[in-house]
A and B are shown apart, each in its own frame.
Chain A
Amino acid sequence: MKDRIFKISLFAAAVVILLLTAGILYALVGKSLEVFNEYGVWGFVSNAEWDPRAATEEYGALSFIMGTIYTAFFALLLCIPFSLPVALFTGEYFKGKRIASIVSSIVDLLAGIPSIVYGLWGFYALRPVVIALGVNAQGFGVFLASIVLAVMIIPYASSLSSEFLSMVPNNLKEGAYSLGATRIEVIQKVSIPIAGSGIVASYILALGRALGETMAVTMLIGNTNNIPAGLRGTGNTMASVIANQFGEADGLKLSALIAIGLLLFIITAIINLIAKLIMKKLSAA
């Protein structure tokens, strides 16, 4: 009897996850409908005009979608030259050694720093550097936000890829060494091809993180409602426009912001799903 109650309560707990997901979708979709009815889904997504003034009220998400894509992809590009060496250092060259665990735990600490502290660091320490480099006059913009985002996602990209690298079977590597290959040749011709799809999956996951990051980006991107003019330009991301404008929003604007949240949810869900599928295929093989 007691066991039955216990088993039922375990099942009931699992159902909560189902309800939670359904409730999340219901809340996001339900509150987005107003803006989708007004402009149509495609009309909302493809319009770059965001004008909250009462007389000329108009809402479109394109500027923020573009801002998100710019910052996230540039951050990913910037993070690769650092995270891949970390992965090779800990998963290949010094696999299982003390120095590898020290390096990986220090890099992992980067993941523990709150987004808002990254924002402060970007604002006070990096912004003057960006201004001195002559990127733009105020320092704010896609460039500054992407640098900080790149640092933030290094631990996500490197720890997973290092795991995939260290799973490469030793006998394959030894075979290559016995043919006289150098270490970098083994990495290029054996380790990376075998761990490749896993490494790609880790970068996709890191990209998913970068897409949804809020506070640091909000503090650094400049917060203008336009499509960023390249890396030097200012703009807003989907996450940062929600953070900035949610507080005083109501009516159609609130619905537009929630619709942006729904889009962000869908995009990150798809990105994470792709990464998970790749990893699942790997573990099955």
Chain B
Amino acid sequence: MTNNVSTSTTGVKRRIVKDKMAYAFICIFAFLAMVPLFLILWEVVSKGYKNFNFRLFTEVAPSSMDAMFARVNGEPIPGGILNGITGTILIVGLAIFFTIPLGLYIGIYLSENSEKRFSKIISFLTDLLQGIPSIVIGIIAYAWVVKPLGSYSALAGSVALSIMMLPMIVRSTEETLKMLPRAYKEAGLALGSSYTNVVFRILLPSGFGGIFTGILLAISRVMGETAPLMLTALGASLVNWNIFEPTSSIPLLIWEFYNDPNLIDLIWSSSLLLLIVIFVLNWIAKIVARKWKI
């Protein structure tokens, strides 16, 4: 009898020990998963702060020769990444201009007609578009824009980024609008306002938080894209505002510097700037999402 009881208590003990060990294991590995983020941030900040100065924003990328002479003389690298900053603004700005109205309209259509067969097809295709690897989107923009126009261009780059942003904006708009209480729409219609007015004066403003958050996240997602831009915007060593000309961007410059041993010091400050912008966008998105919660 006593024997029996004692084995059962050791059994319970064993189970409790196992439970404790599993808990410790899960906590340790969950925290280990966060370590790479801090390692990457440390790498970028500690190597990037040196060249993170005023010139980074006011001068274009130096030529390989100038950089080499500066290195030989032990001076800091001359120049900055102004051409990349303006290029990113141009390419991403154009993509925003293309996708926001279109994405909003498609999102509204899907949320208002969710039962229709057609919108199920569109929904499915939107998911399909969202899954396309960015390099493949680069190929498509190359075939659609670069080939017919005969030149790499900011326009081609922004077409690529638009194809990436569009599904994200459609989805966030659709999901936000679906979460709005039906009463909003019914009340608007009952007061006699037109369907158009209900959408623009009631639904969109009430869903502002979710939609705006989705847009910000989409922007931050495409901001660091390199692969599709290599195939479309190509890069340029000067500031360019002509959408039909090859244009640089911050990630493209990082790629260029990485391939040029003389310019290598600039990769870290460029990465630092890119990370700061992306994290700030994410942070604003989070605040907006919390403040404007439906």
Which of A2, A115, A123 interacts with B227 by CB under 8 Å? Answer: A115
Hey, which chain A residues are within 8 Å of B15, CB to CB? 182, 185
CB-CB under 8 A for A208 and B271, given A89-B26, A116-B255: no
Residues on A with beta carbons closer than 8 Å to the beta carbon of B19: 182-185
Measured in the bound complex, the distance between the Cα atoms of B40 and A125 in whole Å is: 9
B33→A154 contact, CB < 8 A = yes
Given A121-B39, A208-B131, A261-B135, A6–B225 Cβ distance below 8 Å?
Answer: no
Could you tell me which residues of chain B, from 73 to 130, have a CB within 8 Å of some CB in chain A? 102, 105-106, 108-110, 112, 118-119, 121-122, 125-130
Cα–Cα distance between A24 and B160 once the two chains are bound (Å): 11
* Minimum CB distance partner of A240 in chain B: B135
Select from chain A the residue with minimum beta-carbon distance to B32: A82
Contacts of A182 in B (CB 8 A): 15-16, 18-19
Binding site of B, secondary structure by majority: helix, strand, loop or mixed?
A: helix
Does B226 sit within 8 A of A, measured CB to CB? yes
Contact of A120 with B254 in the complex, beta carbons under 8 Å? yes
Q: Which residue of B lies closest to A24 (CB)?
A: B140
When A89-B26, A182-B15 are in contact, do A114 and B139 touch as well, CB less than 8 Å?
A: no
A184 to B25, CA, bound (A): 11
A215 at the interface (CB under 8 A from B): yes
- Distance in angstroms from A172 CB to nearest chain B CB is 18
Most B CB contacts (10 A, CB to CB) among A9, A18, A117, A243 go to A117
Q: Report the bound CA distance from A105 to B233 in whole Å.
A: 33
CB within 8 Å for A13 and B37 given contacts A21-B129, A184-B18, A242-B135: no
Beta-carbon contact of B196 and A89 below 8 Å: no
What residues of chain A lie closer than 8 Å to B5, measured between beta carbons? Answer: none
Which of A16, A107, A116 interacts with B102 by CB under 8 Å? A16
On whether the beta carbons of B135 and A214 are closer than 8 Å, the reply is yes
Task: Please choose the segment from B57-65, B203-211, B237-245, B274-282 that sits at the chain A interface, where 4 or more of its residues have CB less than 8 A away.
Answer: B274-282
**Binary contact readout A6-24 vs B (1 if CB under 8 angstroms, 0 otherwise):** 1101110110111011011
**What are 12 of the A-B contact pairs (CB < 8 Å)?**
A9-B105, A14-B109, A27-B139, A82-B30, A85-B27, A112-B220, A121-B44, A184-B23, A212-B133, A212-B134, A258-B139, A265-B136
A contact set with B: CB distance below 8 Å: 2-3, 6-7, 9-11, 13-14, 16-18, 20-21, 23-24, 27-28, 31, 81-83, 85-86, 88-90, 93, 103, 105-107, 109-110, 112-121, 123-125, 151, 154, 158, 182-185, 187, 208, 211-215, 218-219, 239, 242-243, 246-247, 257-258, 261, 264-265, 268-269, 271-273, 276
Known contacts A116-B226, A276-B127; 16 additional CB pairs below 8 A are A3-B194, A6-B196, A10-B106, A14-B118, A27-B143, A107-B37, A109-B37, A117-B275, A120-B267, A120-B268, A121-B44, A154-B33, A182-B16, A212-B132, A214-B133, A264-B136
